Structure 1
Amino acid sequence: MIASTEIHIVPQLATPVRLQEYGVGIFNRALTKSALKKVLKKKYVTVNGVTATTATFIKGGETIQLTIQAAVSMGKRPILRLNVLFEDEHLAIVYKPAGILVSGNGFMTIAHVLPQNLKPSPLSDATAPQPVHRLDYATTGLLLVGKTSSSIRDLNRLFANKNVKKTYYAITIGEMNATGEISATIDDKSSLSKYAVKATVPSKRFGKLNLVRLNPKTGRRHQLRKHLSGIGNPILGDRDYGDKDLILKGKGLYLHAYALKFVHPVTLESHHVVTEFPQRFKKIFEQL
């Protein structure tokens, strides 16, 4: 059995709220209200270590954990070699390729192959390494991973308190302002992204293609893709939010998680990790 665990630290709340309302969208494997109800019914969710129900109230500061056991045949374990950019006994940063889910029910996920790519932590609260944030199936780039129960909680707290700075790059279609902010409501929650156009090239098919640096200030599902599409500059290759007539077949989504900046929750060292651009970015913008 492979245990898929996701942990969420609740920030301070103004008023208590039922878990079945608060928990919608916080877990990759239970993104919808109906999916959340199912995992609660199956007793897969705990709050501060106690099995939760639909009647559980959240007041702020709790640790919510979703754990699902997935059966994997001993003869059919997923095999994938990941590029590990940083690792110690507490956490790691790996490069996520395009076309792979971070976690979920699929056979090939980043969560399933982390144990074969990372060294086991020698610490007493070591656990199966778990990604602590999401990247879309088609997105490439840096993924932060916790290797102990305490580091997973600490990293989730960093994200909840907006103490992890994420920088993305995308290639977008059309005329854009040099810089800007995009705010919108996504899934009934406010969202904000900042962008800066770093380079532009002409294109016979698309008119203009822009290399855009993106800094999301909130972490809503598909936020950057929805924001850029919303201002009329969809990301190249976006099948969900782009123009169906302007899709590059077989090229994927041109969205890349380029950098992570944070203070290590245990050593208190500052980390600023960057990664290479995918080759498909370099073919359009040769200066990369």
Structure 2
Amino acid sequence: MKLKEQHKVPQLEQPIRLQEYGIGIFTTNPTRSGFKKAIKKGLVLVNGKTATTALFINGGELIELLQEESNKKAFDFPLEVIFEDEYLAVIFKPAGVLVSGNSFATIANALEQNLKKSTLKDAVLPRPVHRLDYPTSGLLLIGKTNTATIALTKLFEVKEIEKTYHAITIGNMKSSGEITIPVDDKESQSQFTVLQSIPSEKYTFLNLVELHPKTGRRHQLRKHLHGIGNPILGDKEYYIEALLSYGNGLYLHASKLEFTHPFINQKLIFEKELPKKFKRIFPDLLNQSL
């Protein structure tokens, strides 16, 4: 195992249990539960010896945190990297790939080979900080250090990351509006604007819609649009009988991310053009930037 971080204990007024003293001394494992887990895995040394949760610290000891060896095989899957620095990255997630989970073929398992390892002392394996559904394409935000992942997660929690989606929906639809249908019994809010509509023999109308989720519930946009009678084209979970399309997957795309970089305090805006399948239905998009 490789050394990740080390800490020299100053003189203490009285002994303290290692698992209590160690909270926050390492940037890559700052929490009580995280540090306790590292001790139990044998990843913490005190004066060169494997520590236990029963050990007391008296002062003057050298505490070392080791890097756990991983036998996890990387998923050989090239990704389009939109942006990358020492703290974070933005990548394009294709439709039909899981972001994370127990499966081998996930975006999370492909990140290490597609991104440069951060040189910062709290560098970790890059990991997604939010979700995109399996059939959804678009921009995905990645944390490359422990502090960056925590900071980006906090930005999502306080709603300081603005996400824009585009979808093609079915049926006659109002030009704009707000949907507040609860999702999983939780308050939920989405705003929509219809950009274009075209007549359809099968669906009456097909609509190109811009969407702004103000909350982040699971399947929120898909449930909200289905809830107002305008499901997303190709949605096999939230659909209207006889109007289910099996052709080209789900027509939902995470097209834009806006937020202030938590470490350099710079406003960042990332956009990803709509997939070709959108442009086949709305050919005018070929000459537009959304």
Superposition TM-score tier, normalisation by shorter sequence: 0.7 to 0.9
Match of 1:278 among 256, 272, 275: 275
The secondary structure found in structure 1 opposite 2:108 is: helix
How many Å apart are 1:207 and its aligned residue? 1.1
The answer to which structure has the higher strand fraction is: 1
1:221 aligns with 2:218: yes
Letter in 2 for 1:226: K
How many Å apart are 1:246 and its aligned residue? 2.0
* Structure 1 unaligned residues grouped into runs of 5+: 1-45, 53-68
- How far apart, CA to CA, are the structure 2 residues paired with 1:141 and 1:257? 4
Letter in 2 for 1:48: T
The secondary structure found in structure 2 opposite 1:157 is: helix
Kept in 2: contact 1:70–1:105 (CA 8 A): no
Please list, as runs of the form range in 1=range in 2, the aligned pairs for 1:207-218 lying within 5 A after superposition.
207-218=204-215
How many Å apart are 1:244 and its aligned residue? 4.2
What's the counterpart of residue 248 of structure 1? 245
How many Å apart are 1:49 and its aligned residue? 3.2
How many Å apart are 1:274 and its aligned residue? 0.4
What's the counterpart of residue 100 of structure 2? 103
Please list, as runs of the form range in 1=range in 2, the aligned pairs for 1:261-276 lying within 5 A after superposition.
261-276=258-273
**Residues 47 and 207 (structure 1), Cα distance of their counterparts in 2 relative to 1, 3 Å cut:** farther
The secondary structure found in structure 2 opposite 1:201 is: strand
What's the counterpart of residue 160 of structure 2? 163
1:80 aligns with 2:77: yes
The TM-score, its normalising length taken from structure 1, stands at 0.75
Kept in 2: contact 1:120–1:126 (CA 8 A): yes
How many Å apart are 1:185 and its aligned residue? 1.4
What's the counterpart of residue 231 of structure 1? 228
Letter in 2 for 1:50: S
Q: How many equivalent residue pairs?
A: 225
The secondary structure found in structure 1 opposite 2:230 is: coil
What's the counterpart of residue 93 of structure 1? 90
What's the counterpart of residue 180 of structure 1? 177
Letter in 2 for 1:163: E
The secondary structure found in structure 2 opposite 1:185 is: coil
What's the counterpart of residue 144 of structure 1? 141
The secondary structure found in structure 2 opposite 1:280 is: helix
Q: Higher RCO, 1 or 2 (CA under 8 Å, sep at least 6)?
A: 1
**Residues 265 and 180 (structure 1), Cα distance of their counterparts in 2 relative to 1, 3 Å cut:** same
Letter in 1 for 2:120: L
Letter in 1 for 2:133: D
* Structure 2 unaligned residues grouped into runs of 5+: 1-28, 37-68, 286-290
What's the counterpart of residue 32 of structure 2? 49
The secondary structure found in structure 2 opposite 1:189 is: coil
Root-mean-square deviation (CA, aligned residues, Å) is 1.9
Task: Report percent identity of matched pairs.
Answer: 52
Letter in 2 for 1:85: I
- How far apart, CA to CA, are the structure 2 residues paired with 1:187 and 1:249? 27
